[in-house]
Chains A and B, each alone.
Chain A
Amino acid sequence: MNFAYLSILVFSPLLGIIALLFVPKAKESVIKTVGFLATLPALVLSLMAYFQYRSGSSLERLDEMVNWIQFGNPNRLGELFSIKYELGVDGFSLIMLVLTAILSTLAAIASMYIKKEWKGYFMLFLLLEVGMLGVFAAENLILFFIFFEITLIPTFFLIGKWGYFEKEKAAFSFLIYNGLGSAVLLIVIMVLFARTGTSNIEALTSILAADSSSLVLSEGGKMGLLIAMLIAFGVKLPIFPLHSWMVRVHVQASPSVVMLHAGILLKIGAYGIIRFGMGIFPEQFQDLAVLIAVLGVVNLLYGAFLALVQTDFKMVLAYSSISHMGIVLIGLGALNEAGIQGAIFQVVSHGLIAALLFFLVGVFYERLQTSNIPNLGGLAKGMPITAGFLLAGAMASLGMPGMSGFVSEFMAFLGLFREMPVLAAVGALGIILTAVYLLRAVLGITYGKAHREFAGITDLRKAEWVPALVLLGIIVLIGVYPSVLTEPLTSTLETIMLGIGG
């Protein structure tokens, strides 16, 4: 394509930040419009890249490489340590880029619920978008790490400043957990970099693949790095028992932030495990497959059981996220095409579904000031359309066919049943439990007798239609026509399967 396409894509939200600098603080509507508009270039560019890829043009043309940092003593080491600024995408990261761009735009719309300091909010929001886009476009571990950290800081402030009652606590536990995770990740990256002299992902993959006699890294070393990497990304995903920060964040942050958080930031964990864990250490990953599958089932059931006893709808959704991330792990643990594809599908699908559900939570929290299920009820009477979307979202989440949740759940279990039928059968209980807790929560909110008068409460406003409809539309599209995802994924999957020798 053309020069620096990906760089422009990744850094386009910065334009918005610059534009916002010149907008006076008090002009709410101007700030919101600018913030929304600034998410559009990335959306347009990523969709263009997606459709061009679908129409057969290769993704390699998008790769960018510029020398960036060089250091070291050439006399002693023979060559310089060099870190290159490398951007590039494969099918998987392209999908994640599109997902990020879409969710960012929608979350920008959902930011209408922000009540104060819009300017600071949108600046951080756009910076967060840069970080997320960069994470998926980086072809270099160090660059990846930098973008990864860029997501961390705006998120911290977005949670801590614009959230609900216990926002500071949530923000701090977010920072502590993710900070520790990042530290572990940094160690892994540094060890890899020091041992191999490169931080390019493809180069690392091929170096370690050729390293059968353990010249670069001992077997134990590789295993240790993989486990460290799993912990680092496991915090993000989150894997039981590293999840409690995430519950707090989901409950305390404002809806638009949670949309991005649940939709994209958690998925960085899955992305990392698939791209780096599985990509760089395929053999060690195979040894850990059973453990990962077991963790997946534990996540699935643990989240589901806990979601069952929550009274706050946001808590239900938070635990449901944990439960659904279990399916990602189940798919990865299966280590066959069906499983991995299912895991990737689940990543995308849960991103959309969680965004939809949290957006709807925001919609009725805005109007009723509560998300506590016993205080709600009969919402379908006052807000039939919102209730309808909520029900649709819940159906998508519990894996109703025709929606994206089913395809991913189905493939993940299809994969696991081949490798570990008994474990999969235990995990299948989670499918029932998912239905139980989601129906309990959603019906508790929308059905039944109304506890209060809904006089003066408006149903979805025009601007609120957009995110709900777009998200549901994509969810149904993926559910009905999964090829929109499978086709771009083909080559990525082939590479992974080659790595694990399956």
Chain B
Amino acid sequence: MENAWIIPLFPLLSFLFLIFFGKRLKEASAYIGILLSLASFVYSLLVLFERFTSPTHKAESVWLTIGDVQLTAGFEVNQLNALMLVIVSLVSFLVHTYSKGYMHGDERFHVYYAYLGLFTFAMLGLVLSPNLLQTYIFWELVGLGSFLLIGFYFYKEEAKKAAKKAFIMTRIGDVGLLIGMILLFWQVGSFEYDEIFAAVEAGAVSSTMITLTAILIFIGAVGKSGQFPLHTWLPDAMEGPTPVSALIHAATMVAAGVYLVASLFPLFTASETALMTVAIIGAFTAIFAASIGLVQKDIKRVLAYSTVSQLGYMMLALGSAGYVAGVFHLMTHAFFKALLFLAAGSVIHAVHTQDIEKMGGLWKKLRVTGPLFLIGTLAISGVPLFSGFFSKDEILIAAWAHGNTVLFWLAVIAAFFTAFYMFRLFFMVFSGESRSDMKHVKESPSVMTVPMMVLAILAVVAGYVNTPWFGTFLGDWLTEGNPALGHGHIEGPSWIMIVATVVSLLGIFLAWLIYSKRSLSRDWLGASTLYTILYNKYYIDELYELTVLKVTKGLSLILRFIETFIVEGIVKGVSGAVSGLGHLGSRFQSGQIQRYGAVAFVGLAILIVVFAVTGGYLK
């Protein structure tokens, strides 16, 4: 555990090596990436096991000295970190493997692997950070990795836009985080998590300050986790390669926001307002994104909105003081959403389109991908016995127990939506008639299917580490020795579980009726205004276009006006004055010595007369 800092260095090594020598290696770059990510996974696993028995380990050294203040860098292995390490390195390793098949034939293959290495490095670094500053550093680097991978197909105009949007939208959040973090620093005098918590607990920070900083930091999380209103970049980010969507925009980076709130949980619990904000934003995002997901036609976009919605769920959990529920859902979601994305990638790989209207009847052709996709769908829909069921249940209980009745019912409706659109997706892709133009559909190679299988197994069993039936092992472990995080398991009325099950089954049934059995018309909503609004994602992008962008642009133009007319005017004035003086002077330079002599003499005469009359200055 003392050497946990090595874990992020493996992928960094991979990044550096591939960026410099990858060009010669071509597709052999994949082996380097896979091997090094495997190394960090194995190491993370060892750290996790060690963490079961030994206490939190923290090591730091000075990074930056500002006067008397020393900012440190180091690493910390506590329960949450250890868990996240394993999740991140595992998904990363699987995606590395999967990509070898998916990206086969791309001419910038090695660059892709290099970027994956950079991202994994940053994400692992983020997870290991013991203080806010370091978190922020890796937080930004993660964003960089995400940006690079979204824009991987740089020659596509959409990819370029998406990458830019992703970077800028998250940056808006990041500035919130930065401000919050700095304000907190001047209150506490340190960026260290421990010291912040100690100060908060000791009441050294005023409650308004806690609320303010917590909300500012939450804005950072909102940006990264694609929460409303900074969510629009996440669906657009689907322009990147699909495995990237699985790694970054489903399992790891977008969960960083949740992770951040979880890491700073004691700060948030100290302010009821902050908690409430988190919960409301979370719940609203959950249902908001889910409703958009109902009508999208791009397979990856549906998954993207589902991710946004699930992240909202996690925020709701944390906002309802359900620390364990949030982290638990983060873990299960990482597995089943990564699985779904990889499976979607496999489908896209086979049919070369992302439009679900053009798919259908693939169940028979993709004998491996189909069932795997189904497992993922079942898990996310919260069908009993799958992992999603347990974690979602935890969240609902937490929300109920915290007294957020309205939010609770919102979450229930979101769960219904989730089940519906996921199965809509499933039925439209896999059931029904096979399309004529899809004859050459081939199952993906095993290098792609095996990682999916691993994820599928986890998507099924990961829930059993924390169940009301077999013990809440995860919860107990996470909260061990840290009462600020709340209890390992929150008791709730058992009808919640039944309601959740019923709701999700209802969603599945409805989807089946409409999209598989076709007993209900698919066009029942098609032409309505509601459909249009949903399909256009509530016109949020357009709204931003009209407000923020227009204002910025307008301001720029006004300033340009100032620049060209006022500032340049000053310049013109100055240069005009100078050249005017020059012209005036050059008139005397007639070239006639006699005139020069006359001027010089008159000057001398004046001086002499003055001298004679006043008797001299130096008397």
Contact = CB atoms under 8 A, between A and B. Distances in A.
Contact of A180 (B68, B137, B563, B574): B574
B111 to A, nearest CB: 8
Contacts of A490: 65
Interface string A425-443: 1001101110110011001
B154 A446 contact: yes
Interface string A380-392: 1100100000000
Interface residues of B, number: 52
Interface string A407-448: 100110110011001001100110111011001100100111
Given A406-B140, A428-B175, A447 B159 contact: yes
A309 interface: yes
A241 B163 contact: no
A413 B560 CA distance: 26
Given A449-B157, A490-B65, A244 B560 contact: no
A243 B168 contact: no
A244 B567 contact: yes
A84 B481 CA distance: 69
A55 to B, nearest CB: 18
Interface string A93-123: 0000000000000000000000000000000
B615 interface: no
Contact of B556 (A244, A308, A395, A410): A308
Interface in B424-465: none
B270 interface: no
Contacts of B174: 431
Contact of B575 (A172, A338, A410, A443): A172
Interface residues of A, number: 60
Interface residues of B: mostly helix, strand, loop or mixed?
helix
A493 B175 CA distance: 28
Contacts of A497: 67
A338 B159 contact: no
A428 B171 CA distance: 11
Interface stretch (B178-186, B382-390, B532-540, B588-596): B178-186
A228 interface: no
Contacts of B570: 241, 244
With most chain B CB atoms within 10 A of its CB, the pick from A337, A421, A439, A493 is A439
Contact of A418 (B108, B159, B186, B566): B186
A176 interface: yes
Interface in A287-328: 302, 305-306, 308-309
B67 A338 contact: yes
B553 interface: yes
Contact of B183 (A241, A309, A417): A417
Nearest to B68: A337
B24 to A, nearest CB: 14
A429 B555 CA distance: 13
B66 interface: yes
Contacts of A429: 175
Interface of A: 172-173, 176-177, 180, 240-241, 243-245, 302, 305-306, 308-309, 336-338, 341, 378, 380-381, 384, 395, 400-402, 406-407, 410-411, 413-414, 417-418, 421, 424-425, 428-429, 431-433, 435-436, 439-440, 443, 446-450, 482-483, 486-487, 490, 493, 497
8 contacts: A176-B575, A309-B553, A309-B560, A336-B67, A380-B154, A411-B66, A447-B163, A483-B64
Interface of B: 62-69, 108, 133, 136-138, 140-141, 144, 151, 154-155, 157, 159-160, 163-164, 167-168, 171-172, 174-175, 178-179, 182-183, 185-186, 552-553, 555-557, 559-560, 563, 566-568, 570-571, 574-575, 578
